[in-house]
Amino acid sequence: MAVIELGEYGADFTANPYPYYAKFRASGPVHEARMPDGYRFWLVVGHDEGRAALADPRFAKSPSVIGVRPPEEDIIGVHLLGADAPDHTRLRRLVTGEFTGRRVESLRPRVERLTAELADAMEPAGRADLVDAYAYPLPITVICELLGVPAEDRDTFRRWSTELVTPGDENTMAEAMRGFAGYLDALIEDKRAAGPADDLLSGLIAARAEDGDRLSGPELRAMAYLLLIAGHETTVNLIANTVRNLLTHPEQLAALRADPGLLDGAIEESLRYDGPVETGTFRFTREAVTLGGTEIPAGQSVLVGIGALDRDPARFPDPDRFDIRRDTRGHLAFGHGIHYCLGAPLARLEGRIALRTLLDRFPRLELDPEGEPWEWLPGLLMRGVRHLPVRW
């Protein structure tokens, strides 16, 4: 089986990878591939095979199983996304109590106020970049308020997180990570000194298991780091991608306007059709694993192509059709298994409120024909555009 050379496809693959994933899938659900920089890995593009891999403990999240210690562990520490059982089990147990349905639902009034304020600020101009004016400020404000991060620090956080989730210069990424780590250490110490408070970070500092276990300083720093990045970067693209998908499918937008009860369907179908996470982060084979008839040797890097899985016609008939009435059960936009996204309920809440407010306030919302061409986010991790010019 030939190695897929992703570098051969260039900007066309970045703008629309789905025809390529379909081509790969036609010859099998698992392929060896190579990044433009020469890094070799295994890419899973079949739904059933990818779902199985996401829940299979033979695919580890920590590269320590192949004898590699990622340099970011020395700066940030080990967080949930890079931990395996039993460490993952312990960490998740300590933080799950702070992500209750009650806490998420308690954020509804604040999210509604924020979306209304953002819409108020946008309205007079008649046009806007939806990412900068709406999709970005909502989730970054929510997650920073939830963690107790001061408002004046949010632009710095955006710069750091953007540098960390899109491919770039290694020195720049390391500098951003060190900035993040130093800031979070100081914030945690401030929270400890201030005593009990109602924000999430204070709750994590105080959290104890029944046996008295609690998060260490480095674990708190790593958890806050993960929540800040995962808690807003993905939701920015959830909101912007959903609006973009509706505006490029006017018949679906008209159906939603005619029946607001289709709102949840619009969010879930957008997650399936063109969700904010194109691939999961790397997994590593503890031993040789046969997946979809292909043997992946021990010690290999594996990417599960979330976007590819959710366009598999074996799971979703006519998968390239955007249909907000579709039965989307089984989509994997939030992952599967023990690493299923902890913040999925909050992302859905923000997405629903943001979309409803936007459609209510701007009945003539459309893509701005005078706007700049879309600039797609580089790399395989995040799926979205840097800017989305709209008018009303």
5: left (phi over 0), alpha (psi -120 to 50) or beta: beta
Residue type, 150: P
Contact between 372 and 342 (Cβ < 8 Å):
no
Least Cα distance to 270 among 302, 216, 307 occurs for 307
pLDDT at residue 331, as a whole number: 98
Structure tokens at 92: 């998740």
Structure tokens at 330: 């089984």
Span 71-88, pLDDT tens digits: 778 888 888 889 999 999
pLDDT at residue 34, as a whole number: 96
pLDDT above 80 (res 1): no
Least Cα distance to 305 among 42, 63, 70 occurs for 42
pLDDT at residue 200, as a whole number: 83
Least Cα distance to 280 among 95, 59, 3, 40 occurs for 59
Q: What is the mean pLDDT of residues 250-255?
A: 98
pLDDT at residue 210, as a whole number: 65
Q: What is the mean pLDDT of residues 25-43?
A: 96
Helices and strands in the chain: count of H runs, count of E runs: 18, 11
Span 168-220, pLDDT tens digits: 777 888 888 888 889 899 989 988 888 878 888 888 888 876 677 888 888 88
pLDDT at residue 286, as a whole number: 97
Q: Tell me the H-state helices in 195-334.
A: 200-206, 217-230, 233-247, 250-258, 263-274, 306-309
Span 262-274, pLDDT tens digits: 999 999 999 999 9
Span 294-336, pLDDT tens digits: 999 999 999 999 999 999 999 999 999 999 999 999 999 999 9
pLDDT at residue 2, as a whole number: 86
pLDDT above 90 (res 154): no
Residue predicted with more confidence, 205 or 351: 351
Minimum mean pLDDT range among 154-163, 258-267, 368-377: 154-163
* Cα distance between residue 380 and residue 241, in whole Å: 16
pLDDT at residue 209, as a whole number: 64
pLDDT at residue 6, as a whole number: 94
pLDDT above 90 (res 70): no
Span 95-131, pLDDT tens digits: 887 778 888 899 999 999 999 999 999 999 999 999 9
On average, the pLDDT of the chain sits at 92
pLDDT above 70 (res 10): yes
Type and span of the H or E element at 291: strand 289-291
Span 56-69, pLDDT tens digits: 999 999 999 888 88
pLDDT above 80 (res 158): no
Q: What is the mean pLDDT of residues 275-302?
A: 97
Strand partners, 335: none
Domains belonging to the chain, first-starting first, are 4-391 (1.10.630.10)
pLDDT at residue 50, as a whole number: 98
pLDDT at residue 146, as a whole number: 85
pLDDT at residue 228, as a whole number: 82
pLDDT at residue 89, as a whole number: 93
